[in-house]
Amino acid sequence: MAPPPPQLIDDCSSEIFLRIPPDEPKHLVRASLVCKTWLRIISDPDFLRRYRAFHRTPPLLGYIQRLRVFQGDPEPRLIPTTAVPLAPNPPFRRALDCRHGRVLLHVYDPVLHLLVWDPITGEQKLLREVGIEWLIYSAAVFCAVSGCDHIDCHGGPFRVVFVATDDHDELVKASVYSSETGAWSTPVSLDDDCETYVQHRKDALKGFDGWHYTPDVQPRRCAVVGDDVYFTLWEANAIV
């Protein structure tokens, strides 16, 4: 009778598990069910931190489908790309942003309500009204933990930046929400005190033969670089 194969020491097992591709999280789950030793290794917080740092780019667990706004479009929904179970989809009107483990949604309501949703834990945070009479808008969500590597941001504080063209005075306004205070900052606006914006508005009016120019915010996803968040206006893709 052949002797049983030698057991791998924990360090060797850990190095092997570390190299399991993250594309299908179920592989690690299945490995953890083999025996108690493997379960202890894979569920260890130090191993999970090493695993996230080793692979860096998180796996794509799903994508949000939302077609252009025409009557008869299918309902917006989260479509999973893996076998991992995700939290139930909250009903929403429009997906605005997805970053640092969170999804920012415009939920169905007579007024604008923003919802920050963690599709892994299922945690949802409904934000109070922004306080801007929005016409066209965009928004961004990001982790607010200082020095965070953004590999595992679940449950920590976050910020939401909201930028819109005000329907009342047609100024581009912005406000920032903090999950720590539960409040929006006082809105700031682009107006005649901003020389670059004034020049952009003049340039935009040159080809309009006296038409009225409204500085509409493009309803597209923004770009976040360091501490700066970049949005665009319709005319000439001007950057705010």
Token representation of residue 5: 């194969």
Length of the chain in residues, anyone?
240
Secondary structure element (H or E) that encloses residue 32, with its range: helix 26-32
Taking the C-alpha atoms of residue 94 and residue 109, their distance in angstroms, rounded to an integer, is: 12
Residue 217 has pLDDT above 70, yes or no: yes
State mean pLDDT over 211-237. Answer: 81
Q: What are phi and psi of 117, to 5 degrees?
A: -130, 130
Residue 161 has pLDDT above 90, yes or no: yes
233: which DSSP letter?
B
Q: Is 236 left (phi over 0), alpha (psi -120 to 50) or beta?
A: left
**Please, what is the average pLDDT of the chain?**
79
Domain ranges of the chain: 10-55, 86-237
Any idea which residue has 């047609």 for tokens?
A: 170
Q: How many CB atoms lie within 10 A of CB 20?
A: 16
Q: Would you state the pLDDT for residue 158?
A: 92
pLDDT digits 0-9 by tens, 57-106: 666 677 776 655 555 556 667 777 666 666 667 777 788 888 888 889 88
Q: Would you state the pLDDT for residue 181?
A: 92
Q: Would you state the pLDDT for residue 165?
A: 86
